[in-house]
Amino acid sequence: MKIINKTSVLASAISLAFASGIVLAETSGYLSLKNVKVELEGKGDAKTLKLEVATLKPVPLDGKSGAFGYAALTDSGNNVLVLVTHLPIDDSSFEHPTTGFHTHVLDLKKPTDACKGASFEVDLENSGKNSAFDVNYKWKTEGDKISVDKVPVKDLGDAGVEGVASFTLKPILDSKNSPTHLCVTVVDQA
């Protein structure tokens, strides 16, 4: 088990942030990370990951707090596990009807001109090709804690977790309300 406290920030996550030119947004409340726990269980193809995030304030579950989420950064931006909400965009078969929360495994890339000022942009094309894009990993929230477990490590490219981040998401939509760009701004990281 790996426990990440705010006082023990992972060097690789910081390196990734500064190398990518990430500007961290102001942190407060449910996007401020208090504690993060990453656990690996099992062996070989049966190895799974459990991620627990504790925040400074309760995680909003009303579906009205905008587009935001929590991510386990792996493989330098590829195969990133996210637990996210972004109503009214419907890109998951397993989205909770009230909160909008669901999981994805995504690839990130350097922001294009459409996402100027963002930390990352979701690589929509490559993410959509990933068999773990629309998955039903078990997640739950309890006050200021949110977790996801039993994530097959093979879905993450067998990569280790380099860091954990909270983020906001700004979708850029076409005339049919389909996202053409998803701009990701890191708010806090551990």
pLDDT tens-digit readout, 72-85: 998 778 899 999 98
- Report the share of the chain in percent with pLDDT over 70: 85
Given this model, what pLDDT does residue 5 score? Answer: 40
pLDDT of 9: 34
Cβ contact 102:162 at 8 Å: no
Q: What is the pLDDT of residue 80?
A: 94
pLDDT value for 13: 38
pLDDT at 28: 63
Q: Is the peptide bond before 152 cis (omega within 30 degrees of 0)?
A: no
The structure tokens listed for 185 are 């701004």
What does the block give as tokens for 118?
A: 């963002």
Between 142 and 77, residue with greater pLDDT = 142
Checking if the pLDDT of 18 tops 60, the result is no
- pTM of the entire structure? 0.84
What number is the average pLDDT over the span 40-57?
93
- pLDDT bin (cut points 50, 70, 90) of residue 32 is very high
Residue 32: which of 144, 139, 121 has the closest Cα?
144
* Alpha-carbon distances of 184 from 39, 57, 168, rounded to whole Å: 25, 21, 6
Higher-scoring residue by pLDDT: 174, 88 = 174
**How does 79-88 read in b/e, with b if 16+ C-beta sit within 10 Å?**
bbbbbbbbbe
- Label residue 178 by pLDDT band (50, 70, 90): confident
Handedness of CA 85, 132, 25, 34 (dihedral sign): positive
In the chain, the amino acid numbered 145 is K
Provide the residue type at 30 as one letter. Y
11: pLDDT confidence band, cut at 50, 70 and 90?
very low
Dig out the tokens for 150 from the structure. 């039993």
